[in-house]
Amino acid sequence: MSYIHLPQGEWDQHPRRALILTLKKETTMKKITEVITDYVDDENLLHIDCYFDSDANSQGTTVAVVDLDSGKVIFFDNSYRFDEKVKEAIAEVKKENNVNGN
């Protein structure tokens, strides 16, 4: 990642200011309130679903899947790769299903 260093006062006039602010907003991680790991699809992939609020009607987002045959984890959103709740859920899933892998 590269950084733009501008003298004070020049940021407001930078031609890419809107694009930079948009990209920064899109890559900001939401705070996870709950991780659910109860869905396994037809290909034996266990879904790591994250919820970002406590509303019972909110829809979760699948941030990763764990291949229960090989133990490999596939992330759909790398920004959650180092989130403690996600890491704990993956470790628990692997332990419960007796699978290894990265």
Overall number of domains in the chain: 1
Residue length of the chain: 102
Token digits of residue 1:
């990642």
pTM tops 0.85: no
Distance in Å from the first CA to the final CA of the chain:
25
Q: Residue 48 pairs with which residues in a beta bridge?
A: 64
Token digits of residue 23:
């990209």
Residue 48 domain-assigned (yes or no)? yes
CB count, 10 Å around CB of 40? Answer: 15
Helix (H/G/I), strand (E/B), else coil: 79: helix
Residue 67 domain-assigned (yes or no)? yes
Residue ranges in the chain modelled with pLDDT below 50: 1-2, 4, 6, 18, 20-27
Boundaries of domain holding 86: 34-96
Q: What is the pLDDT of residues 57-76, one digit of tens each?
A: 888 899 999 999 999 999 99
Q: Report CA dihedral (45, 48, 51, 57) to the nearest 10 degrees.
A: 20
